[in-house]
Amino acid sequence: MDDKQVKVTGLFKDEHQAAGTITAVKDSAWKLIDVHGPIPSEVISNALKLRPSMVGWFALAGGIIGFLCGYFLAVFTATRWDLIVGGKPIMAYVPFFIVGFEFTILFAVMGNILGLILLMKLPAYRDLADYSPDCSGEHFGVVVGCDIRDEAEVKTLLADRGAEIRT
């Protein structure tokens, strides 16, 4: 953002007011930069038209890789000591599913964590610069970017909709 651009944050206690403001800003020439909140809100997510997260695919991929790793680790280790005991076969295919299952869950969770890091872009210490600490308490923060000459107008828009203003 160059020198002529500013960011104005409107803090709302009510999610419906915040959602209405989001729609208004999206319909305007100003830029909706971010919306912060203390809890996930369906009303605000709908106003932002957010699509469902793709993190499930990370978990699925992790789960499949995990099962294959677990099952074939058990198979591989059995072949390393191929001494027949009690006439039983070297490969215990059914019990190996237990190892496969545990690895499925472990790797699916690792996939989930990888999704957290990649999709949520965490750690994100730089984001703290544009963030109002009130948003972790009880406010929904709508951050609007505009030309410096429109700043007053944006503040009026936010204030008219019930926001406390932070710049």
Partner 1 sequence: MKNLSYADIDNTVLGTLQPAGRLYWLTIVLLFGGILIGMGCWAYLIFFGIGVGGQNNPCFWGTYIINFVFWVGIAHSGTLISAILHLLRAGWRNPIARAAETMTVFAVCTAGLFPLLHVGRIWVIYYMLPLPSQRTLWPNFQSPLIFDMVAISTYLTVSALFWYTGLIPDLAIIRDRSTGVRQNIFKILSLGWTGKFEQWRHYSRIYLMFAALATPLVISVHSVVSWDFALGITPGWHTTIFAPYFVAGAIHSGLAMVLTLMIPLRKIFKTEKIITMNVLESVAKTIVFTGLIVGFAYGTEQFIAWYSHNIVEVETFHYRTFGHYALGFWIMVICNSIVPLLFFFKSIRTSIPWLLVISILVNIGMWFERFVIIITSVAHDFIPHTWGTYSPTLVEFGIMLMSFSMFFFLFLLFVKHMPSISMTEMKELVHEEQSHG
Q: Would you count residue 99 as binding partner 1 (CB under 8 A)?
A: yes
* Residues 103, 25: Cα–Cα separation, whole Å: 47
Stretch that binds partner 1, among 4-12, 127-135, 148-156, 157-165 (CB under 8 A): 127-135
Cβ contact 165:155 at 8 Å? yes
The separation between CA 48 and the C-alpha centre of its own chain, rounded to angstroms, equals: 15
* Nearest distance in Å: CB 152, partner 1: 26
Stretch that binds partner 1, among 4-12, 130-138, 147-155, 157-165 (CB under 8 A): 130-138
By beta-carbon proximity to partner 1, the closer residue of 115 and 145 is 115
* Residues 160, 12: Cα–Cα separation, whole Å: 11
Residue 150 DSSP code? G
SS3 sequence of 75-131? HHHHHCCCCCCCCCCCCCCCCHHHHHHHHHHHHHHHHHHHHHHHHCCCCCHHHHHHC
Q: Would you count residue 124 as binding partner 1 (CB under 8 A)?
A: yes
Q: Would you count residue 128 as binding partner 1 (CB under 8 A)?
A: yes
Per CB under 8 A, residues contacting partner 1 are 34-41, 44-45, 48, 50-53, 55-56, 59, 70, 73-74, 77-78, 80-81, 92, 95-96, 98-99, 101-103, 105-106, 108-109, 112-113, 115-116, 119-120, 122-128, 131, 133, 135-138
